[in-house]
């Protein structure tokens, strides 16, 4: 089903910001962070986010050239990120703070054209997550991204599509019965809450179209009462 604007990249909007543990904030004092790298990552993230949405500016309505520009920007960004990985490893909280670490992850998350690079990021990110120096939920999102991009079932159900009712559902998912247990291990909310949140946002963006199809309100999932 084609919808005016389907937010397949919903993970961009709902990117996680909580940590795996309720541990102490491992971020070093701001004056000891790599401010140059932090500033660079922040600038790159802003450009990345600009091209994550619909065509705008001189590209208004021009999807073909919009995609070309986005691809060109992404390839340039990945060269920079790859160099950072080789020199510094994955930039965790202690190097660029939580915001800088998030910016790096977000740009890598969007590099779907290069799953090998995403896998490289994933391995180094896992090292920092295990030390409490990076966001565990970001790791989960990237695990799923790499799996979907390499034609394998995802683990945490973060990568979504929409049915004819505008209801979000996870793409190819491994062992769905235990997905909430896996999500809980990373500090994620239960899948149904996540899906309902995305479905509501999707309905809001596409309300006029969905109402014409007879969908008068978001079609939501029942949230399980079990604790995971």
54/138 same-domain check: yes
Please report whether residue 165 resides in a domain.
Answer: yes
131/192 same-domain check: no
Could you give the number of structural domains in the chain?
Answer: 2
Choose one of 149, 184, 209: the last residue of a domain.
Answer: 149
Please check the confidence at residue 34 and state whether its pLDDT lies above 70.
yes
Please report whether residue 113 resides in a domain.
Answer: yes
**% of the chain with per-residue pLDDT over 90:** 81
182: containing domain: 153-228
Q: What pLDDT score does 26 carry?
A: 47
Interior CA angle at 122 toward 82 and 81, to 5°? 15
Please check the confidence at residue 226 and state whether its pLDDT lies above 90.
no
Tell me the per-residue pLDDT of 131-152, one tens digit each, with 9 for 90 and over: 999 999 999 999 999 999 999 9
Choose one of 149, 168, 192: the last residue of a domain.
Answer: 149
Query: CA nearest 223: which of 202, 197, 205?
Result: 197
Confidence of residue 16 (pLDDT cuts 50, 70, 90): very low
Give the CB-side neighbour count of residue 14, counting CA atoms within 13 A: 23
Confidence of residue 77 (pLDDT cuts 50, 70, 90): very high
91/46 same-domain check: yes
188/137 same-domain check: no
176/101 same-domain check: no
Please report whether residue 139 resides in a domain.
Answer: yes
137/157 same-domain check: no
Euclidean distance between CA atoms 180 and 148, whole angstroms: 19
135/35 same-domain check: yes
Please report whether residue 77 resides in a domain.
Answer: yes
57/144 same-domain check: yes
Task: Tell which wins on pLDDT, 129 or 52.
Answer: 129
137/201 same-domain check: no
Q: What number is the average pLDDT over the span 188-217?
A: 97
Please report whether residue 15 resides in a domain.
Answer: no
Euclidean distance between CA atoms 97 and 223, whole angstroms: 34
Q: End-to-end alpha-carbon separation of the chain, Å?
A: 34
User: CB-based contacts of 74: which residues, under 8 Å, 6+ apart?
Assistant: 48, 51, 107, 110, 111, 113
103/208 same-domain check: no
Q: What pLDDT score does 31 carry?
A: 54
Tell me the per-residue pLDDT of 151-184, one tens digit each, with 9 for 90 and over: 999 999 999 999 999 999 999 999 999 999 999 9
User: CB-based contacts of 91: which residues, under 8 Å, 6+ apart?
Assistant: 34, 37, 41, 84, 100, 101, 104
209/187 same-domain check: yes
State the chain's mean pLDDT as an integer. Answer: 89
Please report whether residue 4 resides in a domain.
Answer: no
Please check the confidence at residue 12 and state whether its pLDDT lies above 60.
no
Please report whether residue 18 resides in a domain.
Answer: no
Please report whether residue 39 resides in a domain.
Answer: yes
pTM score: 0.83
């Amino acid at each position: 089903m084609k919808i005016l604007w389907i937010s397949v990249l919903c993970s961009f909007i709902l990117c996680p910001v909580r940590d795996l543990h309720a541990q102490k904030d491992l971020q070093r004092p701001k004056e000891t962070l790599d401010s140059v790298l932090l500033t660079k990552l922040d600038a790159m993230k802003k450009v990345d986010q600009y091209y994550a949405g619909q065509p705008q500016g001189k590209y208004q309505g021009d999807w073909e050239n919009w995609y070309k520009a986005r691809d060109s920007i992404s390839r340039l960004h990945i060269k920079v990120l790859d160099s950072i990985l080789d020199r510094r490893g994955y930039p965790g909280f202690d190097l660029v703070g939580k915001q800088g670490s998030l910016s790096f992850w977000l740009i890598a998350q969007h590099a779907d054209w290069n799953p090998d690079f995403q896998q490289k990021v994933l391995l180094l990110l896992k090292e920092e997550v295990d030390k409490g120096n990076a966001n565990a939920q970001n790791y989960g999102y990237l695990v799923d991204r790499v799996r979907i991009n390499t034609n394998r079932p995802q683990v945490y159900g973060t990568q979504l599509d929409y049915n004819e009712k505008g209801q979000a559902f996870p793409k190819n998912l491994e062992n769905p019965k235990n997905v909430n247990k896996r999500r809980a291990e990373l500090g994620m909310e239960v899948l149904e809450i996540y899906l309902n949140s995305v479905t509501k946002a999707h309905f809001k963006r596409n309300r006029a179209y969905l109402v014409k199809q007879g969908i008068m309100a978001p079609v939501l999932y029942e949230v399980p009462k079990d604790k995971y």
